[in-house]
A = this chain, B = another copy of it.
Amino acid sequence: MAQDKITMLHGSGGQATSELIRSVFAEAFSNEVLGQMEDSAVVPGSGTIAMTTDSFVVTPLMFPGGDIGRLAVCGTVNDLLMRGAKPMYLTCGFILEEGLEVEVLRQAVKSMAETAKEAGVLIVAGDTKVIEGNGGMYINTAGVGFIENEVDISSAKIQPGDAILVSGTMGDHHAALLGERMEIETEIKSDNAPLSEMVAALLASGLELHAMRDVTRGGLATVLKELAESSQTTFVVQDEAIPVTPQVKDFCGLLGLDPYYMGNEGKLVLILPEAEAEKAVEIIRGSRYGDGATVIGKVYGAENGNGAPGDLIAETAIGGQRRMDVLQDEGLPRIC
């Protein structure tokens, strides 16, 4: 690339677009399928597939512990994993704002390529558009995963008596982004990570996995409340059991933020029979990005008396209870 900034010309569909694809995307994403350079990629399929899509509009584009490229791969890979699928193929759609530094694009693309490799997925198709703007960038990734016949993980399988686990500390991604934006110096890093190894280990364990969700936008409380509602059970969690690093705890204290509603990008919630919970914690702790796995609560039926079907209840350290809802409004500065 002779030019160091993106111009409208790079979105023309003509020579400048080809040149951009060749010099930035083709090398980083190099694989046989992308090399087909046709209108769509043709790849081996499977009897049952999972599909998902996510757009990434994060600012700043680079942040402590990650960047928009790593995030764009992790978000979609993790959504596939949550249904018990093996992530296989990603497509990526880049919307570039005029004025974007080509070097920034190159870094994001490099990061996508590395994260795709780590997660074991192939980037099979891409698209680039240029819009007016101020040098920003948006990335959409859509993904296809393969599901083995016997795997059936969904919120419909949640039952009273199930345990509620998280794979690690809450709020890291959100706090890292906010710290960067507000120019507060912290040691907090985003947890953006593909959970491929963790989920593969869980699937291989033979444990009876009922439901999995990655904890992203809306935070832990939003995910748990949605799962309680869709399964019409009552979720009870202990405030003290929710893992939060001292740094994130201090950061939240300083700004009056609630870690229950802060987004992560490399943590999951797992619901499974209580009898299998300790085994699951052990497996997650033994896999990459799972150091902080722990049980945080339990699923109850109507007989419990603690709440109605669909309720999410947090028990405080001194034994109080509060009924929690999904994220209601901009109680938190937005990060995506």
Cβ B326 vs Cβ A18 within 8 A: yes
Q: Which one of A46-54, A164-172, A182-190, A301-309 is at the B interface?
A: A46-54
Neighbouring B residues of A138 by C-beta, 8 Å: 95, 129, 131, 138
Cβ B93 vs Cβ A39 within 8 A: no
Max chain B CB contacts within 10 Å: which of A45, A85, A261?
A45
> In chain B, what residue has the closest Cβ to A45?
B49
Max chain B CB contacts within 10 Å: which of A16, A39, A57?
A39
Max chain B CB contacts within 10 Å: which of A18, A50, A82?
A50
Cβ B131 vs Cβ A57 within 8 A: yes
Neighbouring B residues of A328 by C-beta, 8 Å: 14-15
Neighbouring B residues of A32 by C-beta, 8 Å: none
Neighbouring B residues of A196 by C-beta, 8 Å: none
- In the complex where A53-B125, A92-B53 touch, is A39 in contact with B213 (Cβ < 8 A)? yes
Cβ B55 vs Cβ A14 within 8 A: no
A123 to chain B, nearest CB (A): 10
Cβ B38 vs Cβ A91 within 8 A: no
> In chain B, what residue has the closest Cβ to A332?
B12
The residue that A44 contacts in the complex, of B48, B329, B330, with Cβ under 8 A, is B48
Cβ A15 vs Cβ B129 within 8 A: no
CB of A249 within 8 Å of the partner chain: no
A96 to chain B, nearest CB (A): 10
Neighbouring B residues of A51 by C-beta, 8 Å: 40-41, 43, 89, 91, 124-125, 144
Stoichiometry, as copies per complex, reads 2
CB of A25 within 8 Å of the partner chain: no
Give chain A interface residues in 88-133, CB to chain B under 8 Å. Answer: 89, 91-95, 124-127, 129, 131
- In the complex where A12-B217, A14-B329, A36-B154 touch, is A140 in contact with B45 (Cβ < 8 A)? no
Give chain A interface residues in 32-90, CB to chain B under 8 Å. Answer: 36-57, 78-80, 82-83, 85, 89
Cβ A12 vs Cβ B329 within 8 A: yes
CA distance A52 to B45 in the complex (A): 14
CB of A222 within 8 Å of the partner chain: yes
Neighbouring B residues of A52 by C-beta, 8 Å: 39-41, 91, 125
> In chain B, what residue has the closest Cβ to A151?
B42
CB of A241 within 8 Å of the partner chain: no
Cβ B222 vs Cβ A14 within 8 A: yes
CB of A283 within 8 Å of the partner chain: no
A190 to chain B, nearest CB (A): 17
The residue that A263 contacts in the complex, of B13, B39, B95, B336, with Cβ under 8 A, is B13
The 6 closest A-B pairs by CB, nearest first: A14-B327, A13-B217, A142-B142, A40-B52, A53-B91, A13-B218
The 18 listed contacts between A and B (C-beta, < 8 Å) are A9-B329, A13-B263, A13-B327, A14-B328, A15-B328, A39-B80, A39-B83, A43-B49, A45-B45, A51-B89, A51-B125, A53-B92, A53-B93, A53-B125, A54-B93, A127-B140, A129-B336, A140-B142
Known: A39-B79, A51-B91. 14 other contacts (CB 8 A): A12-B330, A13-B218, A14-B218, A14-B328, A18-B326, A39-B52, A42-B48, A51-B89, A52-B125, A53-B93, A53-B140, A55-B140, A93-B93, A140-B140
